[in-house]
């Protein structure tokens, strides 16, 4: 496993993070036995960043992780969860939600706590409800260690939020189809210039980049001298950016976990050749037209 450093705190995080939004299911609920094996196996093999949120799996992801990270596994990871900003109606709600999350996750602190899903109107609301004092107080009393935010808005809004508080990190959607969508490459570079660690979500565009792969796109990938799966190309393209700290994967198939772990041993920044980058650009243009 390769690791990258968060600039503001020096934490060495695994470049592959385990996202707990799409855990394996059984009878419509989290398959806790299988999912626990998957999470613990990934941790045993070097993954040290685990990401969840209040609404994932209809509210069951956090309680699941509280059980899955027992037996010493909680101490091996940096745990991330999120304040569901759209549900907050008062400053008191923030403390109530965080305290409930601590109980659900069976821990006394959240290592990486995000204000969830910010866009311009939500951030304006959270500022008025005094989210800044909430974050400062929660850091001071040890309930959270690092404050960040996740984002799904425009680049102008993103820059405003980056500049509004001394965040340690942020989480953005990013892949080779989203260079100019949402925060995009401009936001990635802006956040990095401010010293933020950057967590990437939706690296495969919810599976769009890998399943199914149209024959004309596979033909382009097959032009490469080094043969890789579409998932590996997509992940390596993101990890090629030195600004990226962690890429989250919502892994729920053992074969996908194995593939991602293998790639995460080798995906150094600036390791793709110019020819390979042009190949990805060719796929991007073809995918955009398909």
Domains present along the chain, CATH in parentheses: 3-207+243-254 (3.20.20.100)
Query: How do residues 182-215 score in pLDDT, each as one tens digit?
Result: 999 999 999 999 999 999 999 998 778 888 899 9
Answer yes or no: is pLDDT of 260 > 80.
yes
Mean pLDDT value across residues 161-167: 97
Q: Can you give the length of the chain in residues?
A: 290
| Closest to 168 (Cα-Cα) out of 190, 195, 189 | 195
Going by pLDDT thresholds of 50, 70 and 90, the confidence category of residue 290 is very low
End-to-end C-alpha distance for the chain, whole angstroms:
35
Going by pLDDT thresholds of 50, 70 and 90, the confidence category of residue 63 is very high
**Backbone φ, ψ for residue 141 (5° rounding):** -95, 5
Query: How do residues 13-50 score in pLDDT, each as one tens digit?
Result: 999 999 999 999 999 999 999 999 999 999 999 999 99
With b meaning 16 or more CB within 10 Å and e meaning fewer, what string describes 128-166? ebebeebbeebbeeebbbbbbbbbbbbbebbbebbeebe
């Amino acid at each position: 496993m390769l690791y990258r450093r968060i600039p503001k705190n020096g934490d060495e995080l695994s470049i592959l993070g385990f996202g707990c939004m799409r855990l394996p299911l059984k009878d419509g609920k989290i398959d806790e036995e299988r999912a626990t094996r998957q999470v613990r196996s990934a941790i045993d093999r070097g993954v040290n960043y685990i990401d969840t949120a209040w609404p994932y799996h209809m509210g069951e992801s956090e309680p699941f992780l509280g059980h899955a990270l027992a037996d010493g596994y909680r101490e091996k990871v940096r745990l991330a969860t999120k304040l569901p900003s759209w549900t907050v109606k008062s400053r008191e709600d923030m403390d109530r939600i965080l305290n409930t999350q601590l109980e659900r996750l069976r821990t006394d602190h959240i290592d990486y706590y995000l204000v969830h899903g910010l866009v311009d109107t939500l951030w304006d609301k959270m500022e008025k409800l005094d989210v800044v004092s909430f974050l400062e107080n929660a850091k001071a009393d040890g309930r959270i260690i690092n404050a960040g935010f996740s984002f799904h808005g425009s680049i102008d809004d993103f820059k405003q939020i980056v500049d509004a508080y001394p965040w340690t990190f942020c989480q953005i959607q990013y892949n080779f189809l989203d260079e100019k969508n949402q925060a995009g490459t401009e936001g990635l570079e802006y956040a990095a210039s401010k010293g933020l660690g950057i967590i990437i979500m939706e690296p495969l565009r919810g599976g769009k980049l890998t399943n199914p792969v149209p024959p004309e796109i596979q033909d382009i990938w097959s032009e490469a001298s080094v043969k890789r799966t579409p998932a590996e190309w997509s992940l390596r393209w993101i990890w090629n950016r030195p600004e990226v700290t962690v890429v989250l994967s919502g892994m729920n198939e053992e074969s996908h976990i194995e593939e991602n772990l293998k790639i995460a041993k080798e995906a150094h920044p600036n390791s793709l050749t110019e020819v390979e980058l042009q190949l990805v650009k060719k796929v991007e243009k073809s995918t955009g037209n398909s």
